[in-house]
Structures are given as C-alpha cells and as structure tokens.
Amino acid sequence: GAGVSQTPSNKVTEKGKYVELRCDPISGHTALYWYRQSLGQGPEFLIYFQGTGAADDSGLPNDRFFAVRPEGSVSTLKIQRTERGDSAVYLCASSSGLAGGEQYFGPGTRLTVT
Amino acid sequence: AQTVTQSQPEMSVQEAETVTLSCTYDTSESDYYLFWYKQPPSRQMILVIRQEAYKQQNATENRFSVNFQKAAKSFSLKISDSQLGDAAMYFCAYRSAGSNDYKLSFGAGTTVTVRA
C-alpha cells in the first residue's frame, strides 16, 4: 500500500486477555517503530526495529509487552495479561532507516481494556 | 531521554490570522532534529515541518514556519493565514542525530482551534 496500515482500527478486550496489534509498513522501509499514546498526551516510544531485529526496546514498559518482525516487514505488538492502564492508541511508524529519514505514521489502533 | 515541553495546552485563532505554538527541549547533544507534527481527529500523524540543528536558517513550508533558537533550546511554530483545516493537535518532537537513536521524543501537544 501507499502508507503505513494498522489493524485492527479499534480493539476492545477484557482485563487479563491477550491481544495482538499488527502493523504493515511502507514497502521497502527497513525501520519500524511502535509508540503508545495515552489520552491527551504525546506518543511515547516503545520499540524500534531495524530489519528483523529490535535495535532499541528500551520503551517497553514491562515484560507483558513484546513485539516481533520476523521477515523484516510486518510487525506485531503483543500484550499479555492486559490491564486497564494499557488502554491507549498504539501508533506504528516506518522509515527508510537512513539517517535523517522521515517517520511515516499509521492511523493507530485504539485499545480499550475493560 | 530528552524532554520536550509544550506549555500551551490549547490555542485559538481566527481564520486568516496567525498563531504561534511554543516548544522547548532539553538536550546535551549538539546535533539533532526537531519536528512539528499535526494530528487531526483521524489520529494520523502528519509531518508539518522539520529543522536540522546544524542549520541556522529557519525552516519554512508554505504557511508554516519555525523560529529555532538553539542556544535557548526553543523551537516555535508559526501558522500564518490560518485555515479551518489547520484545526488539530500539534506535537513538537525531538530526535537525536546519533546513528542508532532514531526514536522520537514528543511533547504533550497543543490543541489548535480555528474560529470561522
């Protein structure tokens, strides 16, 4: 596609459940980022992939959060044992991976944990 | 991590007038990038303008311009001839120019309302 896509657009789940959020980056982009945006706040960095490997996962809040990018394209953010505090918009972005390359964002997935 | 501060939660501007959004940041680095992003209700983050710290000239993109004061660590956005479509949340963001540090650090955002 022409831009970054994310599915689902919205996800409602019960506390304690497991969820997966998917990101399809722009074709050819080697770098992929996940951010979390709580209501009324700016996005906060979670994890950054360069190719298949996580180059920086310092933003993941705890071990319930995990992300993969097995073939260097699509990425999945996985959240185990969801908590109400996980409710937020999860944004994905991709870039060429070159220094100075612009990050292009997807429309995000709004996660609501009830 | 770098801190980005936007001290104006909300700004209102009359259509065709000018509004200026403030942003300050804290860093010990000498080379970095600064950005302004627009986020309408659709949630899609759109890059408005970017500034490279080593460039003294302020960036301009059509009706959008910045005032970059490196010594003061200030990076304000001016929207001229405001249009109804400019209504959105605006985020200031910082990124290191280091080779392995591409993550963006965002401010809390400023909601811009445009009055017809």
Chain A residue with minimum CA distance to B96:
A100
Q: Degrees (nearest 5) of the Cα angle A69, B92, A102?
A: 40
Candidates A21, A94, A103: best to mutate against B (most CBs of B within 10 A) is A103
Per the CB < 8 Å rule, is B43 touching A108?
yes
| CATH assignment of the domain containing B93 | 2.60.40.10
A15: Cβ contacts below 8 Å, ≥ 6 apart: A82, A83, A84, A113, A114
Put simply, the answer to whether B4 touches A106 (Cβ < 8 Å) is no
| Parent domain of B33 | 3-98+105-115
Q: pLDDT tens string for chain A (114 positions)? A: 589 999 999 999 999 999 999 999 999 999 999 999 999 899 999 999 999 998 899 999 999 999 999 998 999 999 999 999 999 999 999 998 777 778 999 999 999 999
How do strand B10-14 and strand B110-115 relate by DSSP bridges? Answer: parallel
Q: What is the least distance, in Å, from the CA of B72 to any CA of chain A?
A: 22
The closest CB to that of A42, out of B33, B43, B91, belongs to: B91
Q: How many folded domains does chain B comprise?
A: 1
Partner-chain contact B45 A56, CB within 8 Å: no
pLDDT in tens, B62-113: 999 999 999 999 999 999 999 999 999 999 999 988 766 689 999 999 999 9
**Phi then psi dihedrals of residue B86, to 5 deg:** -80, -10
**CATH 2.60.40.10 applies to domain A5-98:** yes
CA separation, residue B40 to residues A47, B35, B84 (Å): 24, 16, 12
